[in-house]
């Protein structure tokens, strides 16, 4: 009964007219950035973080969430019709979706993608509804020792599940932890790594860092590939409704993709990208005719699209219940909560129930809006690809700069923005993935604080991390994951599963 009462509170919050409006704006912008290759939800959310100051916490997170899962819908449109995935998680959809479009089956492919995404989003919402209170009640029993081990495990997961070199991912985690230490130490009042700069006394601005490494660096990268989609031919949709045979062939992959995505989305570093590739591999393995995959198999569209939408939504579970971000978007949403004066963690459900349950209820509303937005307006989304990049880039830079300066009205934050943008661009060019950097930056201060509390309570005895069963479990699991990921056979398998977002 308590869950139903909480859900009713969430529905009342989500259906307030201004929350519906911003949910629609988020879904619309998410679809837009999902359609346009090279922008993506991470950069968009980073650039819009300053705007959240003017909104209530519930409204701000509802809008940002809409952008995130909306991009999963939008990315499939150009993946199917143009063979240009707007999102990395839609890359696998392009394999069979584009082949279907070439055969005149683009309409059914888009319809199945939308239906699968809506079904998966609905199921994932209910997974959050029933699992979040349980995880929150468990998390309330955690102490500093358990939280330190949990954060350590989360960082290890983000390393082992990141595509690319594990060593490079570890280096990015360490760099993020170091950046998180910049500023005035709360306990001693000593300035750390500020180099005499007043702008660094309160630490590196999370908004400036996020916008720089995800937004500005994308501008620099896209200058190199601005002509990649020129000359692309938009294929005809054909009929929109799938046949009964296509519905039957898609039902199993949609169900399996939903379950798989819901499970993998919870893992740090998992989410939509890992879910979509894992679903495609599973469907190809289970198929009696695997040779059809890559030649227009509708199962290759239904499974991955369901999995990536389910994974994008269940990635909210550790963020809402534990204060532990599973990817860069969740890290920025935690940053938005902190800027609003809300401490992420299990206490959010009790202290801010309208935020907690309103965000969950808005996910179903947003998924319904996305079905209405995507199929009837597919022609409009494809026409947006004719907008030249040279017209988008100045606007992105201008809005980013204005937004960053408006946060604190400190010119130094603009220097941080430029430095983060150039640094992110260089790191990506050298094959580093910047998502672990942001996770380390956001979780580093929390990790340090829990370590200090644990040491005080244990009188400096580090064995406290092993005598606690929960802490020992997380630390041992993290160690096992690192050892497994270092094995040559596992490294080869990771190289086959993950693709570079370039």
Task: List, run by run, the mean pLDDT of 10-residue segments along the chain (502 residues).
Answer: 76 89 88 70 75 83 86 75 65 80 81 85 84 75 83 78 72 89 81 82 80 77 59 55 83 89 72 73 82 83 86 82 76 80 77 86 85 71 64 73 73 86 88 81 84 87 86 87 68 50 40
Q: What are phi and psi of 61, to 5 degrees?
A: -70, -30
Tokens of 189: 């009042």
Residues 172, 177, 182, CA angle at the centre, nearest 5°?
Answer: 125
Residues 246, 111, 236, CA angle at the centre, nearest 5°?
Answer: 100
Find the DSSP H helices in 216-243.
Answer: 217-224
Nearest to 214 by CA among 394, 404, 41, 87: 41
Q: What is the pLDDT of residue 284?
A: 82
Strand partners, 183: 192
Nearest to 333 by CA among 238, 207, 444: 207
Residues 202, 206, 207, CA angle at the centre, nearest 5°?
Answer: 120
Residues 6 or more apart in contact with residue 258 via CB below 8 angstroms: 116, 119, 120, 123, 124, 306, 307, 310
Give the predicted TM-score (pTM) of the model. 0.72
Which bin fits 267, alpha (ψ -120 to 50), beta or left (φ > 0)? beta
Please tell me whether residue 230 adopts helix, strand or coil conformation: coil
Residues 253, 295: Cα–Cα separation, whole Å: 17
Strand partners, 191: 184
Residues recorded for the chain: 502
Burial of 461 (0-12, 13-18, 19+ CB in 10 A): exposed
Tokens of 224: 């190199």
Q: What is the pLDDT of residue 379?
A: 65
The 8-class DSSP code of residue 54 comes to G
Q: What are phi and psi of 234, to 5 degrees?
A: -80, 120
Q: What is the pLDDT of residue 502?
A: 40
Q: What is the pLDDT of residue 385?
A: 62
Q: What is the pLDDT of residue 382?
A: 62
Strand partners, 184: 191
């Amino acid at each position: 009964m308590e869950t139903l009462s909480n859900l009713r509170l969430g529905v009342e919050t989500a259906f307030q007219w201004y929350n519906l409006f911003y949910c629609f704006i988020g879904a619309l912008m998410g679809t837009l950035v999902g359609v346009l290759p090279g922008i993506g939800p991470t950069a968009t959310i980073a650039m819009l973080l300053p705007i959240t100051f003017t909104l209530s916490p519930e409204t701000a997170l509802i809008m940002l969430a809409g952008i995130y899962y909306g991009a999963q819908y939008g990315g499939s449109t150009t993946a199917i019709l143009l063979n240009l995935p707007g999102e990395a998680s839609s890359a696998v959809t392009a394999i069979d979706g584009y082949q279907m479009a070439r055969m005149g089956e683009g309409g059914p492919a888009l319809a199945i993608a939308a239906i699968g995404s809506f079904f998966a989003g609905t199921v994932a919402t209910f997974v959050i509804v029933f699992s979040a209170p349980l995880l929150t009640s468990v998390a309330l029993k955690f102490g500093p020792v358990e939280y330190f081990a949990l954060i350590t495990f989360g960082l290890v997961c983000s390393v082992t599940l990141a595509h690319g070199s594990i060593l490079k991912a570890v280096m990015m985690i360490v760099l993020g932890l170091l950046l998180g230490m910049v500023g005035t130490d709360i306990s001693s009042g000593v300035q750390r790594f500020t180099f005499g700069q007043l702008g660094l006394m309160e630490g590196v601005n999370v908004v400036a860092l996020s916008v720089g490494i995800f937004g500005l660096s994308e501008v620099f990268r896209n200058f190199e590939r601005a002509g990649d989609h020129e000359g692309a031919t938009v294929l005809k949709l054909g009929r929109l409704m799938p046949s009964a045979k296509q519905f039957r062939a898609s039902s199993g992959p949609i169900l399996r993709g939903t379950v798989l995505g819901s499970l993998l989305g919870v893992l740090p570093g998992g989410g939509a990208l890992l879910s979509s590739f894992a679903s495609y591999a599973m469907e190809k393995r289970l198929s009696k005719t695997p040779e059809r995959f890559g030649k227009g198999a509708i199962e290759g569209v239904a499974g991955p699209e369901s999995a990536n939408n389910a994974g994008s939504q269940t990635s909210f579970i550790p963020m809402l219940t534990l204060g532990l971000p599973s990817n860069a978007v969740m890290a920025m949403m935690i940053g938005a909560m902190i800027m609003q004066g809300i401490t992420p963690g299990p206490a959010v459900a009790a202290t801010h129930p309208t935020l907690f349950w309103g965000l969950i209820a808005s996910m179903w509303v947003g998924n319904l809006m996305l079905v209405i937005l995507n199929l009837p307006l597919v022609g409009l989304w494809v026409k947006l690809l004719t907008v030249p990049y040279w017209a988008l880039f100045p606007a992105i830079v201008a809005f980013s700069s204005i937004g960053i300066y408006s946060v604190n009205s400190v010119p130094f934050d603009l220097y941080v923005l430029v430095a983060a943008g150039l640094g992110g661009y260089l790191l990506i060019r050298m094959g580093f993935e910047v998502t672990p950097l942001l996770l380390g930056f956001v979780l580093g201060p929390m990790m340090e604080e829990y370590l200090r509390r644990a040491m005080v309570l244990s009188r400096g005895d580090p064995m406290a991390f092993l005598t606690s069963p929960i802490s020992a479990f997380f630390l041992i699991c993290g160690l096992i994951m690192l050892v497994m990921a270092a094995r040559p056979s596992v490294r080869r398998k990771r190289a086959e599963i993950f693709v570079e977002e370039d």
